[in-house]
Structure formats: C-alpha cells, structure tokens
Structure 1
C-alpha cells in the first residue's frame, strides 16, 4: 500500500469521525429545541395559573415568550439546517500550518459552515468565512498571515489538501497549491453548469478570496473578463460580510442584477451558503417601485431599437450614458437655486407682508440647508403664517371697533342695530379671509414647483421614457425634494455594472444613503459601445476617493479554445484563459433553408456528449419565437422572449442581452453580421456564455 492509499484511508477515518460528531450535534440540537418547547409550555402554564385574573400581564408575558421562543428557535434551526447540509459534504479542504511561537503544526478542515464539538468545545470544521480559513485559499505554501481579533497572525503553511466528499462518501483527495492548474479546480470546471455553481466555494482562487475578504468599509470595483468569477465574488462576499458583521448587516444587504432571468439564475446560491433575507432586485424594478406611477419603455424594446441601428435613438442613449448628461443634470439643479422661482413682493390688503428681497434671503441664507423644493414649502408656510397674523390683527381690530361702537348705543338702539352690526361684521371678516386666499394664490403663482415627473419630462423635452431616465429622476428627487429610501440598506452589490451610467451610481448612492458598495462588471460586455470608458471605472469623485479597483484577466469559465475564439472580438484587454483544453470551436456557414436542420443536428450532438444546458443565442429577438417552434418538433426548448421567463436548464433560445451573466454547457451562436473582422462586443458576450462546447453558425444572406 503506497502513501496515497494510506492518506486516503486516514481521510476516510477522519470523515467517519466527523460525520459521527455531526450526528451527535444534530441530536443535541433537536434535544435543545425540545427542551425549550417544554420549558416554555411549563412556564406558560404556571404563569397563567398565577395571573389568570390579570389580562394585561398575560398578554405581556405571551409577547415576551414569543420573542424568546423565536430567537432561541432561530439559532437552533439555523444550526440544524447547516449541519444537515454538512452531512452530505462536511468539508472540502484541509490546511496544515504552524503559527509563530508554536512548536507543533495544526490541521484545520474547511467547510461550507462551521461545527464545534460541544463535548470538548474543539472546532471540528471551520467555516470558510472565518478569518483563519483564508489560509486555505492562500496561493502558495510558506509564509502567510491571517487577521484575528487580536491582530494579524504570522504562520507557515505546510500543506493544503482538497477533499471531495459527496453524499457522505469520500471520493478523492488532492494535495496542491490551489492554483489554476489544480486538479479539483479542473474537475469542478469540467462539470455541467448546475453542479459548478454549487461547488464553486471549494475552488475560489486567492485573487478572488482577497477581494471577498476585504473590509466592509472599502468600496470596491471589480472589472473582470467573462468567466473571471465576478458573480461568485459578489455572492460569496455577501456571505462573508454577513458572517462577520451579522448584527450590522442582516436584512440590510441589497443585490442589484441586470435582469430578472439573471436574478432567478443566482437566487439559490446564497441560500446554499446559509444566507437568506438578502434583498435581490434589478435597478429598473427597484426604481419603478420607488417612483410608482411611471411608465418606461420595456428593456427588450429599448435594446432592440439599439440593435436595429436607429441613429436618433442611439444618439440619445449615448448622451444619457455620458458625463455630459450627468453635468447637465447637476447644472440644472444648481441653476434651479437662482432661476426656478421668479420672486415677487407678497401683499395683504395692499401692504407688503414680505418683500422680494426678504423672500430671497429666506431662500439663499436662512433655509439654505434644505433641499430647494422642501425649502420652498417651508418658506411658503413662513409667509402664510405672517399673512395669518395680519389677518388676525384685522379681525381683532374689527371686533374691537364693533364693541366700542356698541358702547355708544342706548339699550333701545342696540336692540335695533345688533343684528345688522353682526351681519356687517361677518361680511367684513369674510373679506379679510378672502384677501388671505388671494394672497395665497398670488404666492402659489411664483413659489410653487412641479411634480418630479413633470419637471423631468419638461427638461427631457417630453421624449418617451426609458430605463436611462429613472436614475436622473431619482437624483432630482433627492437633490430638489430631499427624497430618501425608506428602507435600511448598509451594503449594496451591483453586478453587470458596466452598463450603468454615472448618474445611476450617483442616484443609487444618494437615494438609498448607503456608503458601502461592491461593484462588479466587465468593461468588454457593454451593450452599447461608447466613446467614454465605463462609468464604473470613474467613480472616485462619487466616493470621495474611497474606491479600490481590481482587474481580473483570468477566465475560469470556458475552455482555452473558447476563450481564444472570444478574444478575436476584443481589440484590448484580452482574456487570459485557464489551461483547460476542450474541443475546437466549430464554425459553419449555411443559408436560411439549411439553418433549422443544422441547429437540430448540433443540439443532438451536444446532448449525446452529455451536456445538460444548451443555448442557441441570437443577437436580437427577431425570428426567435418562430425558430423555437420549428426546433420544438425535434427537441423541446424554451424561448426567452421576455424577462419573466424562468431559467431551468435544458435547451433555450435566447437573445444576447438576456444571456448576459448566464453560462451554458454548450452554446450555438447564430451569426447574422456581415463584417466579422472588427471588434464586436455582442459576439464576445455570446461566445463567453459557453463552458465546454461552442458552435458558430454564419448565416448567408441572399
């Protein structure tokens, strides 16, 4: 028996011991839950007996009891769920190291969650998010350090082992330095896409792990090529932050993704890491929920208009994505301070109650700290209050004059005139009040503001609104009306951020009031080619310099052959492919008459090779539904002709803009462009969706 066999047996014994401890801890947790229930029932019985005549005391007791029960059960249920998951695969790695000043090496097993043996309080499995677990993801053996509560700890990493456990059985062990040539990384990346998403935690690379473990005080931008693990980083960073800052962040993290298809695709990753309660949305849905009754062009129609090459629409899109548009909005807000209200003197019965100069002073000095249109309402209240004081003076003076006049009358005269006097007094009071109304009307004519959507429509020249208009509307609401998000968000993750405009980042930050961001995107995957670099790479002024940029050039998604094929569509920022070889990219040329048969042939070949998810990707939606119906006669498929379709694997027909962020085992590109010898970011996006097999079909036009 060689050393490898011995090591395998040792690990098998360790796994058996770990599973036994897990079973014991599960039984302990179940017993604790039962004990809590019995304790609460007994306390309830005793309390009701003692205070059966005091209804308020009983209600208060039950409120407290429910809270205590929920908190205790929440903790136990969380551990039970984690340990149940760990029974399938308690850990995926082991790191052996020696700390400075220590004589003996220590080995720790790293898993999805942590487990401690309550008998001796020794950690059995270390949660991958724990600071010490970062040693496992360190790129090389030798000197390393990790952050502990007492500061940085210097260590010497002696060994690192990856361990494959499935359904409680040991399948393989590998000692390695966890680099891109690593055996397990190759194995996981070679699996189909559904398996890969679940197992990615065991193959996180050091460059990814360093970003995941960054302090929550650091705002970061990750510009990574297709397949570099941006979404992996985003989701695992959320899990890491929640593990280490749970009290501050639980229920206060928001993930913004590109579309509903993508959000559904990643929806099970965080729960698999034990995290629930993270808000996930698209920016468009988030903004529309906040703005309420606003209609915008459907994203699908928006992108189809771009792809059709409508020059006027393209110019508007470029402009609203530009720094020039951001400056226009900011300049408009600044100019509103001086130009929006045309101030005048305010009169009451011909007397100046507030002069134009006094009102101007209220605007530019006394209430300068308030947003303009909140300031406007405040100043109106101040002026109206003074008008009402003038009204009250006149009413008081009128009443005094009437009383003084009554004193000059005899009782007989008073009896004759009293009704006329009261009638005359009331008419004069109505005149006094009517003059207040007139003054308010005059005030409203020059100290009044439009509603947000009315204001934006005016400066937008009443063009049809698209999703590009949501951010400037939100930003105007913040700066002019002082609008704020009513929820409590402490960390925001933005994925596929390369398509965000600068005003979008500004609106999100200002409206939500959050100062902790993880921003991820691929500058090569922009839907619209712009002259300026993506706004996500120019955020220093928005975050007052507290922004750290990371560049990821290595792709872990696709084979070397696929990534080299995708590289030809880029002029700069070429992808460095992982050394994982596969089949060469197949290229066909055919006419429309032969297209259907060729697609079906390629799909069936991919199915025979065991590929679980296959996508036929077209640049746009035109003809996709009809093609899907024809293919359905041979192979079942789902056509993604709208954002609400849920991705469940299998064969899909999908336009390029819905495929962003997704990955498929096999991809068939339908190439309808006439010029292939130029930078083409859409083809780059389509090509990089493929994990294992890529076929490109060039369609000849007659």
Structure 2
C-alpha cells in the first residue's frame, strides 16, 4: 500500500466511526423524543394539591422538578440535533489536515476537522480546528514549534503537516506542506470556493488570517482589504473560533452578524455549518432597525444608490448618517428635561381620560435632579396609579352596574349549579364590574406601559427643527432646503414611514427620552462591508451594547451608498 492508499483507509475507518455515532444518536433521539412525549402528558396531568400547606408545597416542588427534567431533556435533544448536523457535514469530508509531532519523546498523529471525533475507546481521532493544539498546523514550521493553552506553552518537534482535499469520502489530493500552504493547492481550494457555496474554507487559513481569527484580546477589530482578499472568509472563521473558544459562556444567539443583503445572509448560513457552527443570527441593518421600530416602515434605499452612482451625494443624507446629529441628541435631551417632552392626551373613544396638561404637571412633580428617562419612568408609575383610581371610580358608573347585572343574570342562567348567597352575588357583581372597566381601559393601560403618553413623532420633528444653522452651513445645506426636507419628513411621519438614516436617529432619541427594552443581548458584533455601514449605525449599536466586542470588515474603495464611512469617525466612535 502506498501513502495515499493508507490515508484513504484511514478516511474510510473515520467515516465508519461517524456512521456509528450517527446511528447511536438517532437511537437516543427516538428514545428521548418518546420520553419527552410521555413527560409532556404527565405535566398536563400533574395537579397542584391545595388541601394543606404541606400538600401544596410538596406538589409544587414535584411539579418544578418535573419541569426541570423536561427542560434538560429538551436541551439534550437540541444538542444531539446540532451534533447530527455536524456529523452529516463531516461524513463527506471528515478532516482536511494531519499533523505529526513529537512531545516528550512520544510521536503523535492528529487529524484536523470542523469538529472533534472520538473512537469507541474514547481516543481522539479528529480534533476541532479551533483547539489550541491545531495552531501547530496554521503557524508551526517543520522542526521545533510550540502551541499555547490558556495556562501553558508546550514545546514540540513538528514532523509533518499534510493537507487533504476530500469529497464524498474520497481523497482527491494530498499535499505535504512545510512553512506555508502550497500555492497551487491553495489556488485549487480557492477556485473551488468560488462555486455556488464555499466548501470547507478552514483549510485555506494562512498565518495572517490566523492571527485575526484567534485574536481574543482586541475589543474592536477592523479588517480592511481589497475584493477577493479573503476578508469575509476570515470574518466567518473568526466567529466560529470565538464561539468555540468561549463556549462555556457564549451562545450563538449572543452573536450578531450584519451582512449587506439577504442573499449574502443565505450564503453565510450555508458556510458557518462547514466551520462547525450554526444558528448565528445574520441580518441586514435595515431588517434590524425595522425590528426596533415595528410601527414604522423603512423607505427603500434605491434612490440613495442611484444618486450615489450618478455622483450626487445628498448633503442631508450625509449629515444624518454621520455623527453630527447623534452628538446633538444629548444636548437636545438636556434642553427639554426641565420642561419635559411633548405629551399627548390619553383617550378612549374620543373621551380624554388623562389630559396632557395633567401629565405635564405630574412630570414636573418628579425629582428634577434625575435624567429625563428616569423621570418618565417615575411618571409612568404615577399614571398607572392614577389610572387605577379612575378605574375604581368608573365601576360606580351606571352603565357599568347595568352591564355587570346583565352578565350576572347570564351566569345564573347558564350555570344552574352556581351557589347563591347574597354575599356571593355581591362579590360576583363587583368582580364583573372590575373586569368590564379593565377591558374598557385596557388600551390606555397598554399605552402607558409603552410610553405612548409621549408624542415621540412630534418630538423627533421638533429635534430636527432645533438643529443649529451653523451645522447646516458646515454641511452646505441651505435653510430653505432644510425646511423643505422637514416638510417631507413630516409627511413621512404622518404615513408611519422613515428613511433608514432617520430611523437610526429616531430610535436613539426615543431611548434617550424614555426606557426602551431590547431583548437581544449581543456580546460580539460582526459587520461585513463596513464601508456601507454609517457611523450613526455604529453609534446605535454601541448605545444598545456598550460592552460588546466589535469586528468590522470591508473594502473602503467600494462604497455603494452615499453615506459617510466609519473610517472618518473612528476616533469619535472609539475614544479608548
């Protein structure tokens, strides 16, 4: 047998091990699914016993334990499913490289793949390309080399670096490399990568890319390079590496990846599984800001593109996408804090329940030492209390009493077994009256909870009206042009529409005015095609996720829209 035949035998044996693990996981999944179905039925039959305090406590503890067991099974099932997806990718190409090295006089052979694989004796057959020891392949040179773990540096003698190209379980090519990956082989892999979907791109990592991918110390990283230089590949590999490196505390949903368009998002979703990861939320910024402002529709960017291609940069759009107006928001908020924002009447069917004059008076009674959004949070609590009092008064209205009486009679008519006593009837009548009023006031309650007593659309328009003339002059915008623009924005707001650059400023103003909850918790943010990502958009992400690590990637000579690029604003965006 020659070397290639021996390696093919090893590939066949590895694929057999993958098949064994797949079969085992399939069996476990079927068993676990059956267990979960039974457990779900048990949950439905599980009753909280209310006979005594002891019985109630015991049954509640049992129910909680049952719930936790069900949740554990669900997570196990989810993990098994993810592993099966990884194994199905590995079955086609179980690994892409091999390293032989001598450590403490013992020679070891390791194969590198998108995930680790062990045999039935728990011996490692394939190691994950992101493991510290895999760095021997990416950066080690034949001869004395080393790799670093979190705590130690381990010196070894690297004896072999071999690269494979495997498809459908067959070795198509096999190359022994020394200091760097063989150029012809690299070209072959990269040529392969230009097909519909990138194949396993892990094997093309070079030293410069590897330094970027494995960097765990930089809070902000900017990768700049021309088209075709491998930036996006490196960005995706960096995501996969960081998810592996921080796997004890970092979940895929804590990573946010912005791509230039939906086609690119679809493409990424096919590449990440080939790197050993999946489930990373990928979206365009337009889609993201739409989720933050669901009540508005964002205007198309087509006009921006055509204007830019004709060489007609819109100075207003340039100003709004930069940091000029972002910086103005803080000054504006300070200027309105003492008087308060623009309030609106809270009405039901044309009847004013809470007038804006009253709301303003209550706002002025809040602690004037506090910032605006804290004062509005206190005002919200005050309004809910006032609403509670108004609801109590409303239950005494004749229309409520009449409707409660009508519903009470219907109850007695439909349920002949209903126990009748004077006290019971009085209690039921009161309960029905409260339900009627609560239903009537539900919209007001929801409005208070969502800070709808602040007229945020008028507030945004007022903010734009207060932009100093000196700033307009600096951006070569005439006062007449600005007034025409404000009239257009007023029309858009009336139609619940916003251009994207206005949506960013609108949301930043809104969250500085009153508390806004964003459910997504991003710890790492990745931005591809950074040249089309405006400074104001970066400022928004920083405001939402001040502790997140940021990685930018792009070609500054390929700006598609007429927006400001982030490069001119780096010192302002990243002071530290």
TM-score over 0.5 for the pair: yes
Residue 116 of structure 2 is aligned to residue 77 of structure 1: no
- Corresponding residue for 1:90? 94
Cα shift at 1:213 = 1.8
- Answer yes or no: is 1:318 the counterpart of 2:318: yes
Name the counterpart of 1:203: 204
The C-alpha deviation readout for 1:39-80, integer Å capped at 9, x for no partner, is x499979x98xx999745697676455334323333333333
Q: Is the 8 A contact 1:322 1:501 kept in 2?
A: yes
Aligned to 2:455: 451
> Does residue 510 of the first structure (1) align with residue 543 of the second (2)?
yes
Structure 1 residue matching 2:138: 3-state secondary structure: coil
Describe the SS at the equivalent of 1:298: coil
**Shift of the alpha carbon at 1:31?**
4.7
* 8 A Cα contact 2:118 2:125, kept in partner: yes
Match of 1:698 in 2: none
Find the aligned partners of 1:384 and 1:24 in 2 and give their Cα distance: 61
Shift in CA distance, 538/308, structure 1 to aligned 2, threshold 3 Å: closer
User: Structure 2 CA distance, aligned partners of 1:36 and 1:307?
Assistant: 57
Quote the RMSD (CA, aligned, Å).
Answer: 4.2
Inter-partner Cα distance in structure 2 for 1:8 and 1:16: 12
1:368-396 Cα distance to aligned partner (Å, 9 max, x none):
4xxx144246369779999xxxxxxxxxx
Q: Which residue of 2 aligns with 1:123?
A: 124
**Rounded Cα–Cα distance in structure 2 between residues aligned with 1:326 and 1:44:** 53
Pick closer, same or farther for the CA change 1:114–1:376 going to 2, 3 Å: closer
CA contact (8 A) 1:115 1:123 kept: yes
Q: Which residue, out of 271, 274, 292, partners 2:273?
A: 271
Partner of 1:670: none
Q: Which residue of 2 aligns with 1:306?
A: 308
Contact map agreement 1:18 1:90 (CA 8 A) in 2: yes
Shift of 1:36: 5.1
1:260 aligns with 2:244: no
Structure-1-length-normalised TM-score? 0.57
2:223 corresponds in structure 1 to 222
Distance of 2:530 and 2:37 partners within structure 1: 55
For the 8 Å contact 1:250–1:277, the answer to whether it is kept is: yes
Task: Provide the residue aligned with 2:473 in structure 1.
Answer: none
Tell me if structure 2 keeps the 8 A contact 1:485–1:512: no
SS of the aligned residue for 2:556 comes to coil
SS of aligned partner of 2:559: coil
- Cα distance in 2 for residues equivalent to 1:146 and 1:375: 55
Q: Please give the alpha-carbon distance, in whole angstroms, between the structure 2 residues aligned to 1:27 and 1:462.
A: 66
Provide the rounded CA distance (Å) in 1 between the counterparts of 2:302 and 2:377. Answer: 40
Q: Secondary structure at the match of 1:482?
A: coil
What is the aligned partner in structure 2 of residue 327 from structure 1? 327
C-alpha contact (below 8 Å) 1:116/1:124 kept by paired residues: yes
- In structure 2, how many angstroms separate the alpha carbons of the residues matched to 1:225 and 1:258? 16
CA distance in 2, matches of 1:380, 1:255: 35
State the alpha-carbon separation in 1 of the partners of residues 554 and 46 from structure 2.
61
- Please give the alpha-carbon distance, in whole angstroms, between the structure 1 residues aligned to 2:36 and 2:323: 64
CA–CA distance in structure 1, aligned partners of residues 320 and 181 of structure 2: 41
**CA separation of 1:35/1:455 partners in 2, compared to 1, >3 Å: closer, same or farther?**
closer
Q: Which residue of 1 is the match for residue 392 of structure 2?
A: none
Q: Does 2:192 match 1:191?
A: yes
Higher helix share: 2
The more displaced of 333-342 and 83-92 is 333-342
| Aligned pair partner of 2:9 in 9, 13, 23 | 13
Distance 1:251 1:326, change over 3 A: closer
1:535 aligns with 2:535: no
Q: Is the 8 A contact 1:254 1:280 kept in 2?
A: yes
Q: Secondary structure at the match of 1:198?
A: coil
CA contact (8 A) 1:485 1:513 kept: no
Q: Equivalent residue of 2:558, what SS? A: coil
Structure 1: stretches of 5+ with no match in the other structure: 343-355, 387-447, 546-702
Instruction: Write the mapping of 1:252-401 to structure 2, written as runs, cut at 5 A.
Output: 252-310=254-312, 314-337=314-337, 362-363=367-368, 365=369, 367-368=370-371, 372-376=372-376, 378=378
Offset of 1:136 from its aligned partner?
Answer: 1.6
Partner SS, residue 191 of structure 1: helix
In the TM superposition, residue 502 of structure 1 has moved relative to its aligned partner by 2.1
> Secondary structure at 1:456's aligned position in 2?
helix
Partner Cα distance (1:380, 1:173) in 2: 68
After superposition, the Cα gap between the structure-2 partners of 1:307 and 1:544, relative to the gap in structure 1 and judged at 3 Å, is closer
Alignment CA distance shift 1:53-1:517 (3 Å): closer
* CA distance in 2 between partners of 1:144 and 1:453 (Å): 63
SS at match of 1:108: strand
Contact 1:178–1:205 under 8 Å retained in 2: no
Contact 1:483–1:511, Cα closer than 8 Å, also in 2 = no
* Contact persistence 2:252–2:281 (CA under 8 A): no
* Contact preservation (8 Å) 1:221, 1:536: no
User: Which secondary structure state, in structure 1, belongs to the residue aligned with residue 215 of structure 2?
Assistant: coil
C-alpha contact (below 8 Å) 1:373/1:449 kept by paired residues: no
144-153 or 236-245, which moves further after superposition? 144-153
Residue 503 of structure 1 and its aligned partner are, at CA, apart by: 2.0
CA shift at 1:93, angstroms? 0.5
Unpaired segments of 5 or more residues in structure 2? 49-58, 343-360, 387-451, 465-485, 490-497
Partners of 1:52 and 1:383 lie apart in 2 by: 40
Paired position in structure 1 for 2:147: 146
